[in-house]
Amino acid sequence: MAENRMMSLAALIKARDAGKANPELMVALSRDAIARKDPGVKAFAHVADEPVISQQGPLAGVAIGIKDIFDTFDQPTCYGSPAYAGHRPRTDAAIVDLARRQGATIIGKTVSTEFAFLNPAATVNPHNHAHTPGGSSSGSAAAVAAGMIPAATGTQTGGSVIRPASYCGIAGYKPSFRLLPVTGIKHFAPTLDTVGLFAAGVADVALLAALLTGRDLNAGVDDEPVDPGKIRVGLYRCALLEGADPDMQAALSQAADKAADAGFDVGEIGEPEAMAMARGAHSDIRNFEAGLVCGSDLALFGDQMSEVLARTITNGQAISPQAYDAARKLAKRGRAATRALFNEVDILLTPAAPGAAPLGLESTGDPRFNKLWTLMGTPAVNIPGFRDANGMPLGIQAVARFGQDKALLNVAAALERAFGD
Amino acid sequence: MAENRMMSLAALIKARDAGKANPELMVALSRDAIARKDPGVKAFAHVADEPVISQQGPLAGVAIGIKDIFDTFDQPTCYGSPAYAGHRPRTDAAIVDLARRQGATIIGKTVSTEFAFLNPAATVNPHNHAHTPGGSSSGSAAAVAAGMIPAATGTQTGGSVIRPASYCGIAGYKPSFRLLPVTGIKHFAPTLDTVGLFAAGVADVALLAALLTGRDLNAGVDDEPVDPGKIRVGLYRCALLEGADPDMQAALSQAADKAADAGFDVGEIGEPEAMAMARGAHSDIRNFEAGLVCGSDLALFGDQMSEVLARTITNGQAISPQAYDAARKLAKRGRAATRALFNEVDILLTPAAPGAAPLGLESTGDPRFNKLWTLMGTPAVNIPGFRDANGMPLGIQAVARFGQDKALLNVAAALERAFGD
């Protein structure tokens, strides 16, 4: 298939800072790559005609793709829905404005599934065009994986950052809940909707997060090398694991072995009952909230919605506040159990998805390994590096305690190197 | 001044259910009152030309005023800002859609200060047109107080529901954080922005909340009469109290006496240091978040902003993530102290504002008695019933533990009756 040499954000910025690349050149590289590759991959809903290129700021010259669920004042914002065709918001979403203030170039809008939910879009997997790239951040993951752009934004309500990153063989980062601002996205379930980031590798996505936010999130290759012997890595043995594809189970075993070889303190850890029950509460919480926040869309544009979206909103409106509160109580208990679990372990490893990207575009795959962590608000990273028998990417998901984003990115970067050895 | 006989939501619904009023008549009452009174009070930014009147749903015939910070698909939505003149969103905010689904009539958009912040609008206090109605939910509070409508929505980021309710002599209810959906409001500080409600009296606002949400929030006059001897009511002796106007201090003392006379277990309770420190963290949290979520407005429309708004957003962008995290940590400690405090007391009483509505329209008054509870996420109610020497309303604020909204509304309704005795 197509040549998929990815653009490393860290390498691009290093070249820029050394005077070997300037912002115009960096953006031109992306524009050329989009022109060549996007007709096949279909990752972009819109490409900026004359994108603003800044000479200043830590992200100067960095071409960022913005999932089309984020408002942009200067480009159409369609939320993956025909009901919003031609929609042009008055302002940028907060994360878009932040990216501009740090000097980034908003190169275009990447394809989202309808309202960032399950109905698939036209984007294909760059590794094999017959396979889904995953969803709902389909275009962002595919555009980075195809080497069109070094960075992109996404959102995750179930598994919409980690899963497409796994299917496309790139790094995806779902930060601790609310670390990145959600204002200006099309909400689906506000207590779950989380802004995430994509880049080629873990060090790239950590650098992106650090430069966007001004926070000390960079995977500390230079300043704080990981001492693996002090890091307790737990293979998370939830009941779902048995249902993962054999290739994924093998990849997880290899990941554990390579982590141990690299000196990490690797063990196994079971899933507390309260966390399994919290996972079970995810869909009631999501659907009740979708019934509230997409109720106006259903009333006004229901005839332009996919059947699965209209049905989910309708069903959500039928959930009683009492049932919602009961689900929220299960989530709260799950969070307490999660906090207790992270007294025993620093990093959990799980599959990022049940297996490699499914064949066909009828489904964006299954978020079963992601939705618990979205609900818990814990940071998660997809670490790429494994492949199935057909050469399709398999990602390992690393999860840490709420607020431990830097430690997670640090360890994930070290594990990514270990997986490659 | 103008005759200000208020419309009681409970009385209107009782009349409707008894067949003595129908939805057309109920809405016509409001339209007539608006036509007569609003030229003087200036509470409405827009009045619906042909409002939809539903025959079905628990709120059928209830004319609701919507603060112009909430999106409405069929009426202009200007966020109190000239930058949004003529703005027409594609959909309704979630609470507007919810109100429509319960049968309410969206009678118009009520005046908000610019972005629901401090710059005053033109609305006056119905009790004396030379005084401010408070802000930022200026129009909603004034329209209910002037007897134009039985119900209105507001938002509170500092004190924008409880303070105008106090100044206008009506009931205001700021629910537990996230009890009412915020999707579709113009955000200013998302971890603080809280949707609230206004109605004539506490029983009215409780009924409104119950019928809007389908939750059991109604002040249980019939089903669960309050047993005052079992309710520990604490006069909250924070250091701010000394700075309240003498009239307000006298009103608070009377409130405590009347509560004791009504049989409540009344005592005094001091402010834990951690809660005072949390109050001090409010402005850094608010400003940092405003810098993020209104950054695009500043970049695009800064020249159409008031000086205080532009300066606040600019200053917010200069706050470091580390300073923000430190402020959030103080808030977290404050919440733990608040939870502990509510082991010792059921309901706290405090001034709803430093005094009656200030003379003049240059300021919307001071939220110092409100912003802690916004940050803590605890439910709060303004109980009207007292007056200063000039006859201007003075409200008492009742606060309860997070999630104890029904208990709070129940007790506040009983206290309102006691204050009137």
- Test B94 with A215 for CB contact under 8 angstroms: no
Does residue A327 lie within any of the structural domains?
yes
Range of the domain at B290: 275-332
CB–CB of B214 and A184 under 8 A?
no
Residues A362 and A282 in one domain: no
CA distances from residue B363 to A418, B120, B140, B297 in whole angstroms, order as listed: 61, 6, 17, 23
Does the structure show a pLDDT above 80 at A222? no
- pLDDT per residue as tens digits for the range A287-323: 999 999 999 999 999 999 999 999 999 999 999 999 9
Percent of chain B with pLDDT over 90: 96
Say yes or no to pLDDT of B224 above 80.
no
Tell me the pLDDT tens digit for each residue of B328-356: 999 999 999 999 999 999 999 999 999 99
Counting residues of chain A whose pLDDT is more than 90, the rounded percentage is: 96
Q: What is the pLDDT of residues A157-180, one digit of tens each?
A: 999 999 999 999 999 999 999 999
CA B46 to each of CA A18, A362, A364, B402: distance values in angstroms, whole numbers, following the listed order? 57, 46, 44, 35
Dihedral over Cα of A335, B372, B65, B184: its sign: negative
Distance (Å, whole) CA B14 – CA B16: 5
Tokens of residue B40, six digits: 């003087």
A135, A145, B264, B421 from B267: Cα distances, Å: 57, 65, 9, 21
CA–CA distances in Å: residue B279 to residues A207, B47, B273, B286: 34, 38, 10, 11
Kindly state the tokens that stand for B71: 């999106």
B118 and B162 assigned to the same domain: yes
Q: Does residue B152 sit in the same domain as residue B203?
A: yes
Distance separating alpha carbons of residues A204 and B166, to the nearest angstrom: 53
Residue B125 included in any domain:
yes
Nearest alpha carbon to residue B108 among B174, B10, B42: B42
Confidence of residue B4 (pLDDT cuts 50, 70, 90): confident
Residue found under tokens 């594809």: A245
Is A268 a domain residue? no
Q: Is A265 within the bounds of a domain?
A: no
pLDDT at residue A226, rounded to an integer: 83
* Rounded Cα distance, A105 and A59, in Å: 8
- Residue A241 domain-assigned (yes or no): no
Mutation target vs B (from A70, A84, A87, A183; most B CBs, 10 A cutoff):
A183
The pLDDT of residue A233:
98
Please give the DSSP secondary-structure letter assigned to residue B191. T
CB A285 within 8 A of CB A279: no
Per-residue confidence (pLDDT) for residue A1, from 0 to 100 = 44
- Give the confidence band of B374 by pLDDT, cuts at 50, 70, 90: very high
Instruction: State the pLDDT at residue A421.
Output: 79
Res B248 pLDDT > 50: yes
Q: What residue spans of B130-245 are helical by DSSP H?
A: 138-145, 162-168, 202-213
Tell me the residues of B at the A interface, defined by beta carbons under 8 Å apart. Answer: 73, 83-84, 87, 90-94, 96-98, 100-101, 178, 181-184, 187, 190-191, 213-215, 289, 292-293, 295-297, 299-300, 317, 320-321
- For B32-74, how does the pLDDT look when each residue is reduced to its tens digit (9 = 90+)? 999 999 999 999 999 999 999 999 999 999 999 999 999 999 9
Q: Which of B259, B72, B285 is nearest to B188 (CA)?
A: B285
The mean per-residue pLDDT over the stretch B277-293 comes to: 98
- Six token digits for residue A197: 């980031």
What local confidence, expressed as pLDDT, does residue B2 receive? 47
Is residue B266 a part of any domain in this protein?
A: no
How many folded domains does chain B comprise? 2
- Do the chains contact at B91 and A296, CB–CB below 8 Å? yes
Q: Write down the pTM of the prediction.
A: 0.97
Q: B-chain residues within 8 Å CB-CB of A84?
A: 90
What's the whole-number mean pLDDT along residues A224-235? 90
Q: Residue A415's pLDDT is what?
A: 97
The nearest CA of chain A is from the CA of B47 a distance in Å of 20
> Do A137 and A197 sit in the same domain of this protein?
yes
pLDDT band at B218 (very low <50, low <70, confident <90, very high): confident
Please check the confidence at residue A223 and state whether its pLDDT lies above 70. no
B181 → closest Cβ in A87, A90, A293: A293
The residue behind tokens 């000239």 is B82
CB B43 within 8 A of CB B185: no
Domain boundary among B332, B364, B379: B332
Beta-strand relationship, B171-174 and B194-199: antiparallel
Looking at residue B220, its pLDDT comes to: 53
Quote the CA–CA distance of B4 and A42 in Å, as a whole number. Answer: 62
Contact at CB, B296 and A191, closer than 8 angstroms = no
Write the DSSP string, A152-167.
EEEEESSSTTHHHHHH
Q: Which two structure tokens, joined as six digits, stand for B243?
A: 């700075």
Interface confidence, given as ipTM, is 0.96
Task: Report the C-alpha gap between B189 and B116 in whole angstroms.
Answer: 11
Residues B213 and B128 in one domain: yes
The pair of structure tokens assigned to B295 is 């950054």
Reference A27, options A16, A19, A37; nearest CA is A16
Tokens of B164: 């105008």
Same domain, A214 and A361: yes
Asked whether B49 and B105 are in contact (CB, 8 A), the reply is: no
- Provide the CB-side half-sphere exposure for A290 (13 A, CA): 24
B182-214 exposure pattern, b = at least 16 Cβ within 10 A, e = fewer: bbbbbbbbbbbbbbbbbbbbbbbbbbbbbbbbe
Q: Which residues contact B228 (CB under 8 A, 6 or more apart)?
A: B259, B262, B263, B264, B265, B414
pLDDT tens digits, residue range B141-172? 999 999 999 999 999 999 999 999 999 999 99
- Whether residue B237 lies inside any domain: the answer is no
**Do A154 and A200 have their domain in common?**
yes
Is residue A247, in this structure, part of any structural domain at all?
no
Q: Which two tokens stand for residue A284?
A: 């009631």
Q: Report the distance separating Cα B57 and Cα B361, nearest Å.
A: 39
Residue B368 backbone zone (phi > 0: left; psi -120 to 50: alpha; other: beta): alpha
What span, in angstroms and rounded, lies between the C-alpha atoms of B289 and B318?
Answer: 11
Per-chain mean pLDDT for chain B: 96
The rounded distance, in Å, linking the Cα atoms of B403 and B381 is 13
> Model confidence over A281-294: pLDDT tens digits?
999 999 999 999 99
Do B214 and B65 share a structural domain?
yes
Q: How far is residue A268's CA from residue A366's CA, in Å, rounded to a whole number?
A: 24
- Percent of chain B surpassing pLDDT 70: 98
Q: Do A113 and A208 belong together in one domain? A: yes
Q: What pLDDT score does A218 carry?
A: 79
Helix intervals (H) in B228-362: 246-261, 273-293, 295-301, 307-318, 321-341
- Residues in chain A with CB shorter than 8 Å from the CB of B84 are 90
The full DSSP string for B375-421 is HHT--EEEEEEEE-TTS-EEEEEEE--TT-HHHHHHHHHHHHHHHH-
Chain A interface with B: residues with Cβ < 8 Å: 73, 83-84, 87, 90-94, 96-98, 100-101, 178, 181-184, 187, 190-191, 213-215, 289, 292-293, 295-297, 299-300, 317, 320-321
Cα distances (angstroms) measured from residue A389 to each of A141, A170, A255, A349, A392: 22, 18, 16, 22, 7
Beta carbons within 8 Å of B303's beta carbon, 6+ residues apart: none
Cα–Cα distance for residue pair A36/A31, rounded to 1 Å: 9
User: CA B413 to CA B226: how far, in whole Å?
Assistant: 9
As a whole number of angstroms, the distance between CA A229 and CA A227 comes to 6
Say if residue A312 is in the same domain as residue A362: no
Q: Contact B321/A187, CB-based, under 8 Å?
A: no
Q: Is there a contact between B106 and B99 (Cβ–Cβ < 8 Å)?
A: yes
A301 and A167, same domain (yes or no): no
Q: Which of B121, B321, B353 is nearest to B245 (CA)?
A: B353
Q: CATH no. for residue B136?
A: 3.90.1300.10
DSSP one-letter code for A106: E
Domain identity same for B174 and B314: no
> pLDDT tens across A45-90, in order?
999 999 999 999 999 999 999 999 999 999 999 999 999 999 999 9
Contact A341, A275 (CB under 8 A): yes
Q: What is the pLDDT of residues A31-41, one digit of tens each?
A: 999 999 999 99
